[in-house]
Homo-oligomer: A and B are copies of this chain.
Amino acid sequence: MEKKNVLIVYAHQEPKSFNGALRDVAVSALEEDGHDVYVSDLYAMKFDPVASRNIFKDLKDPNYFNFQNELSHAADTGQLADDLDREMKKILQADLIILQFPMYWLGLPAILKGWIDKCFAERVCFDTTNMKWYDHGPFVNKKLVLSFTTGGSASYFSNTGVFGDMDVLLWPIHNSLRVTGLQVLAPQIFYAPGEIASDDRKRMLDGWRERLRDIWKEDPLPFVHIDNFDP
């Protein structure tokens, strides 16, 4: 099989956690298949998710701070802070991005949300002024999968469950990341690993390992093509 680049963005504080085990399984499965795997271990890296003005060496407009403009400007002029520069290079190289995280408040932990806020810079990862986004975005050849754990069991995330349908909860994440053109694969969801038997957890880990073997052949989730929406 063709050698691919994979970026795993991992957002858990505890290496012994189930998320830690899921990361390890992914790294070993993908490396056994000969792929190059990069892990951004956000807590261990002390990644700073805050979109603060202090991350820029020089400001395009010091009198009126606009994060999006400053981020594009820094990317354009090669003046990105070192950590963001490194992360963006990993993103640009990746054929597949795996976001590995525990669900927090029906969404991403802040450290991972801020990784997106700061690393997916306009003009590098999408360009709305030139309509290079969604199906015309720069990342149409990249794949992304959300791989995450929950505290609640699957029934909480159903139509008759209190958190509501999981697809609806994931829509803002999926649809915003698609701005870059990314192909979104079906999410890999591990419901309530803390509430189940050890054997079932082992089966979950094996299932993830198996899926990763053939993930390259998967069709992405279907989305309506950008040209069909109101301008």
Q: In the assembled complex, which residues on chain B have CB atoms less than 8 Å from the CB atom of A16?
A: 63-64
What CA separation (Å) do A131 and B117 show in the bound complex?
A: 34
A114-B117 contact in complex given A50-B49, A66-B14, C-beta closer than 8 Å: no
Q: In the assembled complex, which residues on chain B have CB atoms less than 8 Å from the CB atom of A110?
A: 49-51, 110-111, 113-114, 117-118
Cβ < 8 Å to B, chain A residues 171-220 = 171-173, 175-177, 179
The answer on a CB contact under 8 Å between A111 and B114 is yes
Which interface residue of A48, A104, A156 has the most chain B CB atoms within 10 A? Answer: A104
From B48, B52, B63, B118, contact of A13 by CB (8 A): B52
Report the minimum CB–CB distance from A166 to chain B (whole Å). 10
From B50, B104, B134, B168, contact of A51 by CB (8 A): B104
Q: Does A158 contact B (CB under 8 A)?
A: yes
Q: In the assembled complex, which residues on chain B have CB atoms less than 8 Å from the CB atom of A118?
A: 110
Q: Does A38 contact B (CB under 8 A)?
A: no
Main secondary structure of the interface of A (DSSP, over half): loop
Q: In the assembled complex, which residues on chain B have CB atoms less than 8 Å from the CB atom of A230?
A: 155-156, 158, 160-162
A175-B13 contact in complex given A43-B50, A160-B230, A162-B229, C-beta closer than 8 Å: no
The answer on a CB contact under 8 Å between B176 and A106 is yes
A175-B50 contact in complex given A65-B13, A113-B113, C-beta closer than 8 Å: no
From B65, B162, B172, contact of A169 by CB (8 A): B172
What CA separation (Å) do A175 and B13 show in the bound complex?
A: 26
Interface residues of A (CB under 8 A from B): 13-14, 16-17, 43, 46, 48-53, 63-68, 104-111, 113-114, 116-118, 120, 134, 151, 155-156, 158, 160-164, 168-169, 171-173, 175-177, 179, 226, 229-231
Return the 9 tightest CB-CB contacts between A and B, nearest first.
A110-B114, A106-B176, A49-B110, A14-B65, A105-B176, A106-B172, A162-B229, A110-B113, A160-B230
11 extra interface residue pairs, beta carbon distance < 8 Å, beyond A49-B49, A105-B179: A14-B64, A14-B66, A48-B50, A51-B111, A106-B176, A107-B176, A110-B110, A110-B117, A134-B162, A155-B230, A169-B172
